[in-house]
């Protein structure tokens, strides 16, 4: 009988087909609107998020990564500006400012990657299936990676310090671990930043006092064992702190 | 009654302060209103049920799952919705982006997310603001965004901490209808100071005082306890005052 539904002459005389045609026209307008609205309102994921989705295999973690407070364009621009000024100062004074600035920048950025008071949705995120330890880990690695790339670019662009191009990498790891551990333990990004900046200042000033060279903190090979031991110890501390026992006063982990 | 929330001898302490003490409570489907004066332990109880903080003592079983077990806790978190008392948000996110972000962190199936987000936004009456940035919204609109993120996954257990704060009377009426609709299919626990919300939307009420449950019953039963007493403008307010006065008297004795 359905073959009659588009036959206007037949419909005008057949009650059954008229009823069937009316049934066929019934549409759930609310459901249709939701489908349309979903397409109109949604924004496509940006290129960074799309790459992160492929790498992390988790759309939730990828979105958490691109919302990192210390990966927003203004923070990255500020870091680029500081390193550019450092590169210019290095060229004009001969003092290797880029390697001295890079660890401090990375330590501060990592402290501001995740945590209460830094992430607006922190309380909410603690009730969600994707664990905040995973979010912290992904964000910390991304922030460290980006800061390392920026510092490397600044080092390569400054002829005076090409010989030191990786001299800052190990201290940067140590100071990043310090910022992360203190921010997580104290549940305060500001405490993490303060610890990273103070810790690095003490190392730089201590090195300068004993060798009379400001760059000793990034050139003295004898400091490497201290950096490595510090990195391992602080990374373990950060892992313990992010295990949940300290992220919120009392959690399930 | 199918028990969806089972609480046995729950204790919560912060330092030396006991916030919840030996709480036993079983809740089934429907809307359960949580009343009590400031500091009674309502927010702490909701945070515990939302798995934000672990109990200091006692046992929980939510939707038949044990939140102490990491795998079961993750499954539970996929099936619950939570609106914190003070919900943080990303000011530059649009309404759609924020609700979508939480849906992603709730590990909802990717192909369902856009429609679910659009539906949640329409259910809280924010369709005309879906593409507005959160920083441009009023307090009441932000509260509705909070409700939208809480219901985006059609939760079987919905926990709302002061959800009607900032809503105008018309929005509160619509919100109560939404609560009744969700309570028909799952369990909703609402903490509120507004006794009229309880009368209009809740099937059961619990009254907390200093971390102890001092009343549990229907709104009608609570109202009946206030007969003949003078404190309060409505029968429910008089019942609330009478129960609290009794609890304070017993505490003194």
- A123-150: pLDDT as tens digits: 898 899 998 888 888 999 999 999 999 9
At B11-23, the pLDDT tens digits run 999 888 899 999 9
Q: Are the Cβ atoms of A39 and B114 closer than 8 angstroms?
A: yes
Domain positions in chain B are 27-54+162-253, 87-155
Note whether A125 contacts B131, CB cutoff 8 Å. Answer: no
* Pair (A167, A209) in one structural domain: yes
| Cβ atoms of A38 and B127 closer than 8 Å | no
Q: Which ipTM value was assigned to this complex?
A: 0.88
Of A34, A64, A251, the CB nearest to B105: A64
Give whole-number Cα distances, B149 to A136, A152, A220, B130, B190, in Å: 22, 41, 53, 13, 16
What topology is assigned to B27-54+162-253 in CATH? Answer: Rossmann fold (3.40.50)
Q: Is the pLDDT of residue B162 over 50?
A: yes
> How deeply is A196 buried, as exposed, middle or buried, from its count of CB atoms within 10 A (0-12, 13-18, 19+)?
buried
DSSP code per residue over A157-169: T-GGGGGGTTTTH
Residues of chain A contacting B, Cβ within 8 Å = 33-35, 37-39, 41-43, 59-60, 63-64, 67, 119-131, 248-253
Same domain, yes or no: A62 and A185: yes
Hey, are the CB atoms on A251 and B53 less than 8 Å from each other? Answer: yes
The residue among A49, A75, A128, A133 with the most chain B CBs within 10 A of its CB, best to mutate, is A128
pLDDT, tens digit, for every residue of B68-93? 998 999 999 999 999 999 888 999 99
C-alpha A152/C-alpha A78 separation (Å) is 16
Residue whose entry in the numeric block shows the structure tokens 């008071």: A117
CB contact under 8 A, B119 and A34: yes
The strand pair at B30-35 and B204-209 is best described as parallel
Mark whether A130 and A18 lie in a shared domain.
no
Mean pLDDT of B123-139: 94
- Do A11 and A82 have their domain in common? no
How many percent of chain B have pLDDT more than 90? 72
Tens digits of residue pLDDT in A10-59: 766 777 777 776 666 566 778 888 988 898 899 888 999 999 999 999 99
Residue B118: which of A41, A127, A253 has the nearest Cβ? A41
For residue A252, pLDDT beyond 60: no
Give the three-state DSSP class for A131.
Answer: coil
CA distance A187 to B18: 22
CB atoms A59 and B104 under 8 Å: yes
Q: Which residues of chain A lie closer than 8 angstroms to B149, CB-CB?
A: 124
* Integer Cα distance of B209 and B20 in angstroms: 9
Is A17 in the same domain as A120?
A: no
Chain B residue with Cα closest to A132: B105
Do residues A11 and A91 share a domain? no
Contact call for A37 and B127, based on CB within 8 A = yes
Long-range CB contacts for residues B240-246, cutoff 8 Å, separation at least 24:
B240/B35, B240/B195, B240/B207, B243/B207, B243/B214, B243/B215, B244/B37, B244/B207, B244/B209, B244/B214, B246/B214
**Together in a domain, A6 and A60:** no
Rounded Cα distance between B123 and B175, Å, is 9
* Record: contact A252-B104, CB cut-off 8 A: no
> Which of B82, B101, B121 shows the shortest C-beta gap to A127?
B82
Whether A55 maps to a domain, the answer reads yes
Question: Same structural domain for residues A99 and A59?
Answer: yes
- Report chain A residues whose CB lies below 8 A from the CB of B78: 129
Claim to verify: residue A197 and residue A128 sit in the same structural domain: yes
In a domain? residue A252: no
Q: Do B54 and A251 touch (CB under 8 A)?
A: yes
Judged on CB neighbours under 10 Å (0-12, 13-18, 19+), A29 is: exposed
Q: What residues 42-61 of chain B have any CB closer than 8 A to a CB of chain A?
A: 50-54, 56
Give the model's pLDDT for residue A8: 63
Nearest residue to A237 (alpha-carbon basis) of A159, A189, A184, A198:
A184
Strand B80-83 and strand B212-217: pairing?
unpaired
CB contact under 8 A, B90 and A120: yes
**B139 close to A (CB below 8 A):** no
Work out how many domains chain A is built from and give that number: 2
Q: Kindly state whether B252 is in contact with chain A, defined as any CB-CB distance less than 8 angstroms.
A: no
Give the DSSP H/E element, type plus range, for residue B205. Answer: strand B204-209
Question: Is residue B28 a contact partner of residue B4, using CB atoms and an 8 Å limit?
Answer: yes
- The answer to whether residues A106 and A181 belong to one domain is yes
**φ and ψ of A243, to 5 deg:** -70, 0
By residue range, what is the domain housing residue A165? 47-241
Residue count of chain A = 253
Instruction: Classify B19 as helix, strand or coil.
Output: strand
* A20 plus A136 within the same structural domain: no
pTM tops 0.80, yes or no: yes
Q: Please indicate, yes or no, whether residues A32 and A55 belong to a single structural domain of this protein.
A: no
Measure B147 CA to nearest chain A CA, in Å.
Answer: 12
Output DSSP code: residue B133: B
Q: Tens of pLDDT along B200-229? A: 889 999 999 999 999 999 999 999 998 887
Which residues neighbour B178 within 8 Å (Cβ) at sequence distance 6 or greater?
A: B123, B124, B147, B151
């Amino acid at each position: 009988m359905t073959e009659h539904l588009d036959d206007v002459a037949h419909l005008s005389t057949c009650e059954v087909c008229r009823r069937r045609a009316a049934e066929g026209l019934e549409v759930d307008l609310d459901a249709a609107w939701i489908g349309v609205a979903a397409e109109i309102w949604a924004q496509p994921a940006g290129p960074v998020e799309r790459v992160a989705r492929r790498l992390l295999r988790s759309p939730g973690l990828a979105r958490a990564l691109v919302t990192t407070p210390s990966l927003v364009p203004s923070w990255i621009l500020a870091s680029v500006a500081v390193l550019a000024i450092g590169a210019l100062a290095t060229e004009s004074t001969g003092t290797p400012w880029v390697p001295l600035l890079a660890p401090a920048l990375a330590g501060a950025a990592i402290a501001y990657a995740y945590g209460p008071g830094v992430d607006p949705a922190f309380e909410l995120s603690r009730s969600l299936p994707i664990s905040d330890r995973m979010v912290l880990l992904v964000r910390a690695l991304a922030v460290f990676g980006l800061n390392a790339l920026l510092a490397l670019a600044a080092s390569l662009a400054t002829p005076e310090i090409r010989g030191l191009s990786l001299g800052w990498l190990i201290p940067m790891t140590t100071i990043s671990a310090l910022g992360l551990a203190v921010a997580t333990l104290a549940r305060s990004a500001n405490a993490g930043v303060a610890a990273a900046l103070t810790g690095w200042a003490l190392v730089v000033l201590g090195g300068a006092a004993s060798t009379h060279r400001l760059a000793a903190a990034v050139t003295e090979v004898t400091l490497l064992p201290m950096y490595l031991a510090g990195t391992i110890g602080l990374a373990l501390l950060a892992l313990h702190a992010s295990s949940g026992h300290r992220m919120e006063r009392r959690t399930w982990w | 009654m199918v028990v969806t929330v089972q609480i046995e001898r729950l204790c919560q302490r912060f330092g030396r302060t006991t916030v919840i003490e030996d709480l036993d409570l079983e809740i089934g489907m429907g809307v359960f209103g949580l009343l009590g004066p400031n500091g009674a332990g309502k927010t702490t109880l909701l945070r515990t049920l939302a798995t934000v903080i672990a109990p200091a003592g006692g046992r929980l079983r939510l939707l038949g799952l044990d939140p102490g077990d990491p795998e079961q806790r993750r499954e539970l978190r996929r099936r619950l919705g939570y609106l914190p008392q003070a919900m943080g948000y990303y000011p530059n996110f649009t309404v759609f982006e924020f609700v979508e972000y939480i849906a992603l962190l709730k590990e909802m199936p990717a192909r369902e997310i856009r429609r679910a987000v659009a539906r949640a936004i329409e259910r809280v009456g924010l369709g005309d603001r879906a593409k507005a940035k959160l920083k441009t919204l009023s307090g009441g609109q932000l509260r509705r965004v909070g409700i939208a993120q809480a219901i985006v996954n059609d939760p079987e257990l919905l926990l709302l901490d002061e959800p009607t704060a900032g809503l105008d009377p018309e929005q509160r009426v619509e919100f109560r209808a939404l609560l009744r609709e969700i309570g028909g299919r799952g369990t909703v626990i609402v903490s509120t100071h507004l006794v009229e919300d309880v009368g209009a939307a809740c099937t059961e009420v619990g009254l907390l005082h200093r971390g102890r449950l001092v009343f549990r019953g229907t709104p009608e039963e609570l109202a009946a306890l206030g007969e003949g007493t003078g404190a309060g403008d409505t029968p429910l307010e008089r019942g609330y005052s009478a129960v609290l006065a009794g609890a304070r008297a017993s505490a003194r004795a």
